[in-house]
Structure 1
Amino acid sequence: MFPFLLIIPLILQAFLGAFMDPQFLSIFLVVMVLIAVQYRRMEKVRESFFGRGGGRIFPSTLAAAGFGLLGGLAGSIVMVVIGLTLSESGLIYLWPVAILLMLINMRFLCFSYAGGVLALSNLTLGFPDINVPQIIALVAVLHMVESFLILASGHLGAVPAYIKGHGGKVTGGFTLQKFWPIPIVVLAVVTGGTVENGINMPEWWPLLKTGVPGNPQDLIYALLPVVAGLGYGDIATARSPQEKSRLTALFLGAYSLTLLVLAVLAQHSETLALAAAVFSFLGHEAVIFAGRRIEIVKPPLYVPPEKGVRLLDVQPGGAAWQAGLRSGDVILALNGETVAGRDALFQRLKGTFYPVTVDYFSHTSKENLRATIRPPVQGLNWGLLPVPGEDEDQYVEMMTTGPLGRWLQQWWGKIRS
């Protein structure tokens, strides 16, 4: 264990210096492109509801990179300070497996699945040659970072959707999908050979070289940069996106702590190593299942009220947003006349060229308020999305299936038929 005050500057220097490595930078940029593609897909869903996108692809991708950098630096400090070491040979398999799994389903772009599959393959087939406790511990620390990222930003950019829930009923809700590139610096161990050993070593490298008494070989610690990917997918129908992300962060924090304990115990027992490998991906699936299950058992939040029109979402920057209306608010009257339903709402707003006085119940302050909405400029709409009606027959299929996953579904369908 290195002195805390000594290692922090070294981690920071290695973390920033990693982006000067063309190979590391190229992998990081590829991950950024994959994330941008996902945010583009989400923006198309938003556009299908509002009639126009919010121009969030670049800001969302940039925000993901910013949060990923902060999370990666925090994760690097945690892993090095607690003494978690990894072998370079075990890291080269993670991304190829993660990308392959991503082709089956986008939420599999997460090391919990790739790490679990690799560990299970090693324990049952003897291939690849990896250290199972190391890989599982890496997954655990990364998901500790993810739990904090979800807590801080999991609710941002939530996409409204009409979701077909339990019993086939369509209700309003939000899809919470976030993807983060996580550049981290891990403490790698190289035994035998010199400090060069194929790794670019900075000038301060001798500070991390230590001899092992009684061992003819030296134990050399290398701060090795790695790019990881984390993905978060969830739905919110009975809670606000912020409330749901806080709850998911709690579940994921418990998952990561449990997985870290299993990783430590896996060093002493092959049975526990097998349990850790299986829990890596099944535990992550359990977090997703539990998050969706608690939405089913609680009454949905975004349903039509007894009076007025409840808003599922309000387009940021739009006419209604600037007037102060927000998700969950209930529009009661326009220009003093009550509004019976969403069809009546849009009929009253259609062709209006003058400011409209809106009486509404605020979901946040729990009080009746009044605001004036100025008509949108030509070509734009009012930026209002009501909750679906009881007879709603249109909804968005919440699919994250990748091309390989769709092919497997078609192949399986042909076999069954």
Structure 2
Amino acid sequence: MYGLYQIVLFTILDIVKGLVSPFFILIALIIYFQYYKRVEKPIKSTIVSIFYGIIGGAIATVVLIYLRIYILPLQYIYILSISLVLSMMDSRFICFSYGGSILSLISLIFHYPEIDIYELMIVISLLHAIEGLLILINGNSQKMFNIFNIKGQIKDGYEFNRFWPIPFVIFIGDTMIKPFLLFAIVSYGDFTIGRSPKKKSLETAIYLFLYSSFLFIITMISPYKFIPPMFSLIGHEFIIFINKHREKRNLNSKKMIIKGVNVTDVSYIGIGRKLGIKRGDVILKVNHLQLRDKRDFIDLSYKDFNRVKIEYFNHKRGLIKKRYIGKKAPLGIKIS
């Protein structure tokens, strides 16, 4: 067996080579367009995500090589196919734990296709540990203040949207074992009401670490092959249930505090009327500038804009985000 430093070196070389592949470039573009719709600096966010994704992929590769985990090429295709079908029902079902667990149960029940459940469950547990690590060190960096309308209750909080491309090397084959570079996208989409974003991301990371650890241990010691894939499914759903329960409890206890400026009037000639802003609305952001009081808005009220993005809150319709592109004009908004 190669030494650890040699494995790390070969891993990094394989991953670097893969960064120029068309498939990885496509993944990077997908992540860029996800950020383009959400953040002010999508290129920077994409580069940061790729950097942390490479770190996660290198760690995953080293662990898989030392555990001598091998996967048949067809297994990966089966899991990918199941995950894509499931994602049409709900985007969260694209997670490897659903596709891999369902494939394992199908194999156990119908004895086809032949799946090495032990190795597959080890891969799933490891990928979730990497996901927890990335959430811990980078999940909080893309938080956004937002307004949520949940079951008719209006609450303010933070929304998380992070995406990491994970290039990792795994051995595949049956008669001839050879390294193969795979790519995955790990995402962290969540929200929190009434808690600090750091505490929320830390809590989610801990849940994922516990889940991956229990899945790894159960896979190693369980004498029954049905148990690891069943735990993989139930455990993942339990994490989602716990998160929803915590946020529901905060929803019932937290009072609404909207950080913004109140609109008292809207001019007939101005950008505000064109964007549908009305008296009584609350302006939250102008071009990513968070408005906390009247002083934040004074300088903006004297400027003309030919391009502007405004986020405001309407008590009937909730949070609204609008863009204006056109001739230079004032905002035409009076605030209190």
TM category (shorter chain) comes to 0.7 to 0.9
Aligned counterparts, 1:9-88, within 5 A: 9-19=9-19, 25-40=21-36, 43=38, 54-88=39-73
| Cross-structure match for 1:328 | none
The answer to whether 1:238 aligns with 2:209 is no
For 1:126 and 1:376, locate their aligned partners in 2 and report how far apart those are by CA, in whole Å.
72
Aligned counterparts, 1:93-108, within 5 A: 93-108=78-93
Aligned counterparts, 1:221-232, within 5 A: 221-232=177-188
TM-score by length of 1: 0.61
Larger Rg: 1
Q: Pick the aligned partner of 2:77 from 71, 92, 97.
A: 92
Cα gap change, 1:84 to 1:314, in 2 (>3 Å): farther
| Deviation (angstroms), 1:182 | 1.0
The answer to whether 1:258 aligns with 2:221 is no
Higher strand share: 2
| Deviation (angstroms), 1:249 | 0.5
Q: How many pairs align?
A: 298
| Cross-structure match for 1:304 | 257
Q: 2:104·2:229 contact (CA, 8 Å) conserved in 1?
A: yes
For 1:34 and 1:384, locate their aligned partners in 2 and report how far apart those are by CA, in whole Å.
25
For 2:130 and 2:302, locate their aligned partners in 1 and report how far apart those are by CA, in whole Å.
42
Q: What runs of 5+ residues in structure 2 fail to find an aligned partner?
A: 263-281, 321-336
| Deviation (angstroms), 1:155 | 2.0
SS in 2 for 1:282: helix
Q: 1:162·1:394 contact (CA, 8 Å) conserved in 2?
A: no
For 1:285 and 1:318, locate their aligned partners in 2 and report how far apart those are by CA, in whole Å.
37
| Cross-structure match for 2:224 | 269
| Cross-structure match for 2:267 | none
| Cross-structure match for 2:149 | 164
For 2:306 and 2:97, locate their aligned partners in 1 and report how far apart those are by CA, in whole Å.
43
Letter in 1 for 2:28: M
SS in 2 for 1:234: strand
For 2:25 and 2:234, locate their aligned partners in 1 and report how far apart those are by CA, in whole Å.
29
SS in 1 for 2:166: strand
| Deviation (angstroms), 1:2 | 4.2
| Deviation (angstroms), 1:254 | 0.5
For 2:195 and 2:8, locate their aligned partners in 1 and report how far apart those are by CA, in whole Å.
40
For 1:90 and 1:111, locate their aligned partners in 2 and report how far apart those are by CA, in whole Å.
12
Letter in 2 for 1:15: I
Q: Pick the aligned partner of 1:124 from 109, 115, 140.
A: 109
Q: 2:53·2:167 contact (CA, 8 Å) conserved in 1?
A: yes
| Cross-structure match for 1:361 | none
The answer to whether 1:173 aligns with 2:157 is yes
Q: What runs of 5+ residues in structure 1 fail to find an aligned partner?
A: 44-53, 192-196, 198-220, 326-330, 336-345, 354-373, 398-417
Q: 2:50·2:165 contact (CA, 8 Å) conserved in 1?
A: yes
The answer to whether 1:288 aligns with 2:240 is yes
Identity of aligned residues (%): 22
| Deviation (angstroms), 1:237 | 0.7
Of 135-144 and 6-15, more deviation after overlay is shown by: 6-15
Q: Pick the aligned partner of 1:248 from 204, 216, 219.
A: 204
Q: 2:15·2:54 contact (CA, 8 Å) conserved in 1?
A: no
The answer to whether 1:110 aligns with 2:120 is no
| Deviation (angstroms), 1:61 | 3.2
Cα gap change, 1:376 to 1:247, in 2 (>3 Å): farther
How well do the aligned residues superpose, as a CA RMSD in angstroms? 3.5
